[in-house]
Chains A and B, each alone.
Chain A
Amino acid sequence: AQSVAQPEDQVNVAEGNPLTVKCTYSVSGNPYLFWYVQYPNRGLQFLLKYITGDNLVKGSYGFEAEFNKSQTSFHLKKPSALVSDSALYFCAVRDGENRDDKIIFGKGTRLHILP
C-alpha cells in the first residue's frame, strides 16, 4: 500500500523567512501527491497536487511543492512565511492509480509562524 510520512510534528519559522514542510512517500507505480491545510475550526483546504509534469508545483496562498523522485519527497515550500500561514498541514497520496482509489493522509505537521 502507498504511504506518506511527515517526519516533523511541528515546524517553527520566523515571519518573512522561507518555510519548508517535509513529506516523503512510498508508492508502487506513479505517485499522485497532495498537500492540504487545516485551520482551527475550519475544514481541510486543498493547496496543490502533483500528478505528472513539472517537478515544481504551484498552489494556493503562494505555496509550492517540489516533487523529487530520487529522494521520494514532496516537500511543501513558501519563499516568505506569513503569520496567517500558521496551521496544520497534511501531505497525502492516492492509494493506487485507479480513479476510485482512496486517499491516504500523513499525520500532519503543525506550522508556527512567529511574528
Chain B
Amino acid sequence: GAGVSQSPRYKVAKRGQDVALRCDPISGHVSLFWYQQALGQGPEFLTYFQNEAQLDKSGLPSDRFFAERPEGSVSTLKIQRTQQEDSAVYLCASSPFPGQLLYGYTFGSGTRLTVV
C-alpha cells in the first residue's frame, strides 16, 4: 500500500483481556518501529525491528507486551492481561533504511486502545 496501515483503528478492551494490534508497513521497508503515545504526551519508543530481527525492545514497559515480525513485513504488538495504564495510541512506523530515523519514518495513524 501507499502508507503504513494499522488495525484496528480503535480497540476497547476489558481489563485483563489480551489484545493484538497489527501494523502493515510500506512494502519493502526494512525497519519497523512501535511507539506508545499516552494522552497529552509525546510518543515513547517501544521496540524496533530490522527485517524480522527485533534489535531493540528496551521500551516495552513490562513482560505483558510482546511484539513480533516473523517474515520481516507485517508486525503484531500483543498486550496480555491489559491494564488501564495501557490505554494509549499505539503508533507504528516504517523506514526503508536500517537504523532509527536517520531519514525520517513514515507513521501510521495509530490504534487507539482504551482499557475499561
Contact = CB atoms under 8 A, between A and B. Distances in A.
Contacts of B58: 102
B28 interface: no
Contacts of A99: 98-100, 102
Interface in A26-59: 32, 34, 41-46, 49, 51
A102 B59 contact: yes
A72 B93 CA distance: 28
A107 B109 CA distance: 18
Interface residues of A, number: 23
A100 B99 CA distance: 4
Interface in A65-115: 90, 92, 94, 99-108
A43 B108 contact: yes
Contacts of A45: 107
A105 B100 contact: no
B62 interface: no
Given A43-B91, A44-B91, A100 B104 contact: no
B55 interface: yes
A21 to B, nearest CB: 13
B65 interface: no
Interface of A: 32, 34, 41-46, 49, 51, 90, 92, 94, 99-108
Given A44-B43, A44-B93, 11 more contacts: A34-B104, A41-B109, A43-B91, A43-B106, A43-B108, A90-B43, A99-B102, A100-B99, A104-B45, A105-B44, A108-B40
